[in-house]
Each structure stands twice: as structure tokens, then as C-alpha cells.
């Protein structure tokens, strides 16, 4: 029809010529012309079957490697030293992990970085209270709670008593000048905090290539600010150093306070330059909540003016809400600790498993509950579009029906159970025969896996993959009900359906793995 507008010809006549002159691929029906100029091609089940056989032999399951591989720095999670990770950290941590997996699978070199908040004014207050208490040894089992208690006490003292505030500033100044004892205490805080973080990451199955705190860039900040002033990118305003861009905001980007203190923005600029210079990054992706959008617009604008040759992205996400549609918090009004959230997920999963499998007990039950509970959390967090807020409910999260991890895992477990009953240890590879609509529907769905992975990676939105896995699990359950596998009417049909069962399980496993969700062979 576009050609008809350009040439003045009749669109239906052009469609008829196309249908006659364009060769039809093997196992496709001859094209039909419909309406005012549509050419409809139909693929016979035999062509779908051949495509699935090809897919079955492809170790990449249809995921294509990008022709333009990049070195991508993925900056995500980023908790603060001396504070427990809370529910606000889970989305950055899981989204950054999944995007790292997706982009790596598509052929990019991804460097995962945890940019820790280990420097700043809060440490003056923490040191004040810690040293007043006599610098006690921290209990490895509750060190993060002790550090939070010390900070809370130091903060309350400093905010209520100007003399204590001066003492806190003096503690910070001593730390920043490298005084031996303060540095030793600060390193102790960092070490104990890292133990807490690493236990959370272990349970979540999240790893980093590099953990680097704000402190690593501290010595670079004075020279960086002077360079921006010299290049006239920054200017002095009321004693502070700022970068202006009225197209972004009437407020300037503050990179040094009037008292000489540096800010997050200054550290982010130093980190950005380091990643280009030392890691040779072609692209840097920052994964944070949506409230930081303005900060990153300022940062990216300043980096462009500074002539930093790197692509920059802010992948932002919405808020986790409670049933009252307000940010999810504990009963006392404070953010829920992430460790407590993981523990509750495990305990709730354990109760469900005990009801469904009363024969399970001990370490086997614990291991399955841990996997199922955390898998459910991970899936529920990534299933909505990342820019959306979502309401957190345990009942939906752990349900074995609906768009949940247990539903998809159950489909995978069923696929493996069928293969075991057939006496086949690995996924079979037999010719495919498609006679029923349910098996053709499932086959067409399996062929879409590569394009969905590409879409999730390029859009930076894992929810595309979540939706695909849910649809695939549903189609597999319908296939199982409509198409007998072990009781198929012929050996050839049985082998064909066993191949479909095996491939479906493989793709469910691969897809869940890209979301950071491991599978289990039996529920």
C-alpha cells in the first residue's frame, strides 16, 4: 500500500504481483491476497517442526551474538557501609544482576561494579559514638546492628549538642587526613559491613567483578574540580563550585560545597573517568531508583562537556509498595531489612512445601525452601515493568498458579519428571512431528526465545523475559494435557513429544538462569 501511494498504482494489483513473483519458502503455503492489498503467508507445521529441530541442536537456543560487542560497566546495588541492606536495595541488586547476565549472553563484556558508600560525613558521627564506647570489638554475628546503633547514638548526640557536632567533625577530619587509629576503625567498619553484604549476595546468587568504594576516588577530587574550573565547565558561585545547565534544571550541579567538602556528584565524576581510563568502558549503566534521575542527567551532561568518550545510561526503577500502596516498611515504620525479607521468604516457602511434600525434612527441605523462597522474590521483583511501582504481597508471590516463579519452576520440574519416567537421562533429540494445535503452539513459542532475550537486553527490561517464561510454562501445561507423551499413539510421536518436552525444559532453565533463578529437578 505504501508502494501504491508512491506510484499511483492499485494496491491490490501490486499485492497480486508480489504473491505471484515472490518465491515461497519450502513448507510454506502459497500466499493469499486479502483486503485492499495484504499478502498473507502461512507456515505449515512441517516448517515449524524443522525450525524446532534446528533450535534443538543450537547450544545458544537461538540467542544471537551482537555484531557490536561493547565493554559495559554495570554499576548496581551500592549499599552504604555500616548500615544493613534493606528492601530498597533489592531492585537495584536484582535488576543489575539480570541485565549483566542478559548482556553477557548476547556477547558483551560486562564488568559488574558495586560502588560502595564508604566515605562521608556519617563516619564522623559513627566514630564519635564508637570511640566514646571505648572502641569495643564488634561481634561478627551482629556487627552490622552494632554499627547502626553506634551511628544512631552519634547522630542523636551531634544533632542535639553543637559541641558534639564539632567533635564529630573533628573525628571526620582526622579520618580524612589519614590518622592511624581512625583509619583502623574505619577499615574495621568496612570489613564487618562487607561480611554482611557478601552473605546477602551469596543467598541472592549475585557476584561482582569489582567492589570499589567512594573512598578510592577521594584523592582525585581536588584536582578534578580544579580541572573543571580551568576548562570553564564549572564555575564558582557563592563560594561553591557548580556546573550550570538550565536545560536540565534551574538548580546547578553542585560538585564542591562552600566549605570545601565534596559530594556524591564529584565522586561519580571521578569514578566515571576511572572506568573509561582504567577499564576501557564503552558504556556505563547505572541501576538506581527513579528519584535519582535528575542527578544522573546532571552527571551525564557534565561528562559530555568534559569530553568523556563513553555512552551513559541511567536504568531506573519504581518503588516496592505495601498493601497500603505506600513504600514497603516494617511495622515500626523503618525499611525492612533485606536479610529479614529473605528469611521470611524461606520460612513461607517451607510451610508451603511441608503441606505439599510432608515427606521432606532436614537439609533437603531447607535447601528447597531457600531456593523456592528467594526465586519467588526475584521473579516477583522483575516481573513488573521496571519503571512501575508494584504492590508486594506474599500470597501472590509464592502461588503455584499465576505469573510466579513456583508456576514456572513447576513446569520445568514436570518436564524433567517426564524424561525420567521415559528412562531418558538427557534431553532427547528426535525428529519433530506436529499434529496437534497445542504442540504447534508450544513449538512456535520456543522459536521466539532468542528474540525475547534480545529484546529484554536491548530494552534493559527483564520483564519481557518474565512474560515469555510465564507464557511458555502455560503452553507447556496445555500441551501436556492435550498431547499424551509417554502414552503417545506411536513410537515416532512419543520421541517427537519427548524432544519437545526436553527442549521446553532447557529453555525454561536458560531463561530463569538469565533472571538469576536456579532450577531444581524435583519440587
At 198, which CATH number?
Answer: 3.40.50.620
Share of the chain above pLDDT 90, in %: 80
How many CB atoms neighbour CB 248 within 10 A? 15
In this structure, is residue 333 part of a structural domain?
A: no
When pLDDT is cut at 50, 70 and 90, the band that residue 52 belongs to is very high
Q: Which CATH number goes with the domain that contains 448?
A: 1.10.730.10
Q: Are residues 312 and 391 in the same domain?
A: no
Q: For residue 345, give the nearest of 92, 78, 90, 101 by alpha carbon.
A: 90
In this structure, is residue 237 part of a structural domain?
A: no
When pLDDT is cut at 50, 70 and 90, the band that residue 25 belongs to is confident
What's the confidence (pLDDT) of residue 492? 94
d(CA 519, CA 326): 33
When pLDDT is averaged across residues 67-71 and rounded to a whole number, the result is: 97
Helix (H) or strand (E) run with residue 224 in it: helix 221-230
Q: Are residues 428 and 298 in the same domain?
A: no
Q: Are residues 498 and 391 in the same domain?
A: yes
In this structure, is residue 289 part of a structural domain?
A: yes
When pLDDT is cut at 50, 70 and 90, the band that residue 259 belongs to is confident
What's the confidence (pLDDT) of residue 221? 96
In this structure, is residue 60 part of a structural domain?
A: no
d(CA 513, CA 519): 8
Q: Are residues 270 and 359 in the same domain?
A: no
When pLDDT is cut at 50, 70 and 90, the band that residue 4 belongs to is confident
What's the confidence (pLDDT) of residue 373? 95
Q: How many Cα atoms occupy the beta-carbon half-sphere of 311 within 13 Å? A: 10
What's the confidence (pLDDT) of residue 429? 87
pLDDT per residue as tens digits for the range 428-445: 889 999 999 999 999 999
Q: Tell whether the model's pLDDT for residue 332 goes beyond 70.
A: no
When pLDDT is averaged across residues 13-40 and rounded to a whole number, the result is: 87
Domain boundary at 321, 349, 369, which? 321
Domain assignment of residue 265, given as a range: 77-221+260-321
Q: Are residues 299 and 417 in the same domain?
A: no
With contact defined as beta carbons under 8 Å apart, do 513 and 424 qualify? no
Q: Are residues 133 and 38 in the same domain?
A: no
Q: Are residues 507 and 385 in the same domain?
A: yes
What's the confidence (pLDDT) of residue 224? 97
Provide the edge-to-edge strand list for the sheet that holds 253-256: 235-237, 240-243, 253-256
List Cβ neighbours of 505 (8 Å cut-off, separation of 6 or more): 412, 415, 416, 419, 427
List Cβ neighbours of 160 (8 Å cut-off, separation of 6 or more): none
Q: Are residues 97 and 187 in the same domain?
A: yes
Least confident of 271-285, 326-340, 458-472, 487-501: 326-340
d(CA 336, CA 80): 15
Q: Are residues 411 and 466 in the same domain?
A: yes
**Burial profile 182-212: b = 16 or more Cβ within 10 angstroms, e = fewer:** beebbebbbebbbebbeebbebbbbebeebb
When pLDDT is averaged across residues 177-199 and rounded to a whole number, the result is: 95
In this structure, is residue 149 part of a structural domain?
A: yes
When pLDDT is cut at 50, 70 and 90, the band that residue 30 belongs to is confident
Q: Are residues 316 and 434 in the same domain?
A: no
Q: Tell whether the model's pLDDT for residue 334 goes beyond 80.
A: no
Looking at the structure of the chain, the number of domains it has is 3
Q: Are residues 395 and 504 in the same domain?
A: yes
Q: For residue 515, give the nearest of 419, 421, 396, 378 by alpha carbon.
A: 378
With contact defined as beta carbons under 8 Å apart, do 45 and 435 qualify? yes
Q: Are residues 171 and 91 in the same domain?
A: yes
When pLDDT is cut at 50, 70 and 90, the band that residue 156 belongs to is very high
In this structure, is residue 54 part of a structural domain?
A: no
In this structure, is residue 286 part of a structural domain?
A: yes
Place of cell 534521575: 293
In this structure, is residue 248 part of a structural domain?
A: no
Average pLDDT, the chain: 93
Amino acid at each position: 500500500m505504501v508502494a501504491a501511494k508512491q506510484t499511483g498504482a492499485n494496491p491490490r494489483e501490486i499485492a497480486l504481483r508480489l504473491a505471484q513473483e515472490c518465491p515461497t519458502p519450502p513448507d510454506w503455503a502459497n500466499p493469499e491476497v486479502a483486503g485492499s492489498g495484504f499478502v498473507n503467508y502461512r507456515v505449515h507445521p512441517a516448517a515449524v517442526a524443522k525450525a524446532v529441530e534446528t533450535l534443538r541442536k543450537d547450544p545458544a537456543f537461538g540467542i544471537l551474538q551482537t555484531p557490536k560487542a561493547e565493554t559495559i560497566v554495570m554499576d548496581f546495588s551500592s549499599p552504604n557501609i555500616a548500615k544493613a541492606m534493606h528492601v530498597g536495595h533489592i531492585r537495584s541488586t536484582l535488576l543489575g544482576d539480570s541485565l549483566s547476565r542478559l548482556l553477557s549472553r548476547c556477547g558483551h563484556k560486562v564488568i559488574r561494579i558495586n560502588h560502595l558508600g564508604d566515605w562521608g560525613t556519617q563516619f564522623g558521627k559513627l566514630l564519635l559514638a564508637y570511640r566514646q564506647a571505648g572502641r569495643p570489638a564488634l561481634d561478627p554475628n551482629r556487627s552490622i546492628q552494632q554499627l547502626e546503633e553506634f551511628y544512631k547514638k552519634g547522630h542523636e548526640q551531634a544533632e542535639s549538642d553543637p559541641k558534639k557536632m564539632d567533635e564529630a567533625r573533628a573525628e571526620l577530619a582526622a579520618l580524612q587526613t589519614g590518622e592511624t587509629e581512625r583509619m583502623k576503625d574505619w577499615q574495621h567498619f568496612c570489613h564487618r559491613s562487607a561480611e554482611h553484604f557478601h552473605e546477602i549476595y551469596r543467598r541472592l546468587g549475585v557476584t561482582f567483578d569489582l567492589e570499589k568504594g567512594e573512598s578510592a576516588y577521594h584523592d582525585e577530587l581536588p584536582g578534578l574540580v580544579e580541572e573543571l574550573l580551568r576548562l570553564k565547565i564549572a564555575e564558582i558561585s557563592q563560594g561553591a563550585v557548580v556546573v550550570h545547565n538550565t536545560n536540565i534544571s534551574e538548580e546547578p550541579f553542585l560538585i564542591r560545597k562552600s566549605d570545601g567538602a565534596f559530594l556524591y556528584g564529584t565522586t561519580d565524576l571521578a569514578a566515571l573517568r576511572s572506568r573509561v581510563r582504567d577499564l576501557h568502558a564503552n558504556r556505563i549503566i547505572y541501576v538506581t531508583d527513579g528519584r535519582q534521575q535528575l542527578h544522573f542527567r546532571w552527571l551525564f551532561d557534565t561528562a559530555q562537556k568534559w569530553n568523556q568518550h563513553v555512552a551513559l545510561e541511567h536504568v531506573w526503577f519504581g518503588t516496592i509498595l505495601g498493601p497500603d500502596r505506600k513504600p514497603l516498611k516494617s511495622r515500626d515504620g523503618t525499611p525492612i531489612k533485606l536479610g529479614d525479607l529473605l528469611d521470611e521468604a524461606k520460612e513461607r516457602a517451607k510451610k508451603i512445601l511441608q503441606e505439599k511434600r510432608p515427606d521432606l525434612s532436614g537439609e533437603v527441605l531447607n535447601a528447597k525452601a531457600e531456593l523456592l523462597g528467594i526465586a519467588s522474590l526475584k521473579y516477583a521483583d522483575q516481573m513488573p515493568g521496571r519503571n512501575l511501582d508494584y504492590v508486594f504481597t506474599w500470597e501472590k508471590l509464592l502461588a503455584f498458579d499465576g505469573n510466579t516463579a513456583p508456576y514456572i519452576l513447576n513446569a520445568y520440574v514436570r518436564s524433567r519428571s517426564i524424561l525420567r519416567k521415559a528412562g531418558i537421562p538427557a534431553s532427547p533429540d528426535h525428529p519433530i512431528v506436529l499434529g496437534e494445535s497445542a504442540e504447534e503452539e508450544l513449538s512456535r513459542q520456543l522459536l521466539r526465545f532468542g528474540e525475547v532475550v534480545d529484546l529484554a537486553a536491548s530494552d534493559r527490561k527483564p520483564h519481557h523475559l518474565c512474560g515469555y517464561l510465564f507464557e511458555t510454562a502455560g503452553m507447556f501445561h496445555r500441551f501436556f494435557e492435550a498431547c499424551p507423551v509417554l502414552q503417545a499413539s506411536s513410537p515416532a510421536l512419543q520421541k517427537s513429544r519427548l524432544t519437545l518436552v526436553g527442549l521446553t525444559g532447557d529453555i525454561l532453565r536458560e531463561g530463569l538462569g538469565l533472571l538469576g533463578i536456579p532450577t531444581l529437578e524435583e519440587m
